[in-house]
Amino acid sequence: MGRRILDLLEADLAREGYELLDVRVFLGGGRMQVRIYVDLPEGGITLDDVARASRTAGMLLEEADPIPGKYVIEVSSPGIRRPLRTVAHFQAACGQRVDLKVGSGGSTRRVRGVLLGVDQAGLTVEPPVKAGTDDDPAPETVALAEVVEANLDPDFDAQALINADRRQRKDQKRTERKAKAAEKARKRRPRKGSGPAGNDESGG
């Protein structure tokens, strides 16, 4: 349903100067909700822009009537949890934290982490490090076709704290190992003037 609405709106909104980021259809408050995310190509969309895009989307949906029954339309700016849908969106998000809803075999799961790259194989995501461990989890590759929803995940600041804690503990252990090695080397090193004691005979 979301794909159909996106195809219906994208060209007209583009002619008005707006980028249609994503369309999400869900049940809320007992009726269907159609949430439409728009932005300007250069970013910085205003409330007036959102209102104008909302009027355009409303007229197009009323004319095409793609959803049976009553539904609520909400046109929104992307916000800090910017939706990601196209390859270009994901490429622009490389190096940032993302939150993915991945669907496969009739089930869905959540993948969160830092987006390392985008290629034909899909998205490469570095999972978060578990608190209290020094393990570096292996990056995970997610096929683009399996991504149901995707957003930037700037609220996931806990990961930065975990990574900082891990680096601090690793640095501390490295410093401790160097200190122990230096102490052992110092103890093995002969002291100046040390050696077998000689007979101190005085001539008379």
pLDDT at 45 over 90: yes
Q: Is the pTM of this model over 0.85?
A: no
State pLDDT tens for residues 103-137. 987 899 999 999 999 998 799 999 887 766 667 78
Residues 140, 68, single domain; the answer is: no
- Helix (H) / strand (E) element for 170: namely helix 158-188
Residues 36, 88, single domain; the answer is: no
Lookup result for tokens 């049940």? 27
For 34, the domain range is 2-76
Q: Give the single-character DSSP code of 86.
A: S
pLDDT at 193 over 90: no
- Helix (H) / strand (E) element for 93: namely none
Task: Please give the angle made by the CA atoms of 82, 124 and 90, to the nearest 5 degrees.
Answer: 30
Lookup result for tokens 């990961």? 159
Residues 61, 146, single domain; the answer is: no
CATH number of the domain within which 93 lies: 2.30.30.100
Number of domains in the chain: 2
Residues 30, 63, single domain; the answer is: yes
Q: Where are the alpha helices (DSSP H) in the chain?
A: 2-15, 47-64, 87-92, 158-188
Residue 198 lies in a domain: no
Residues 70, 106, single domain; the answer is: no
CATH number of the domain within which 36 lies: 3.30.300.70
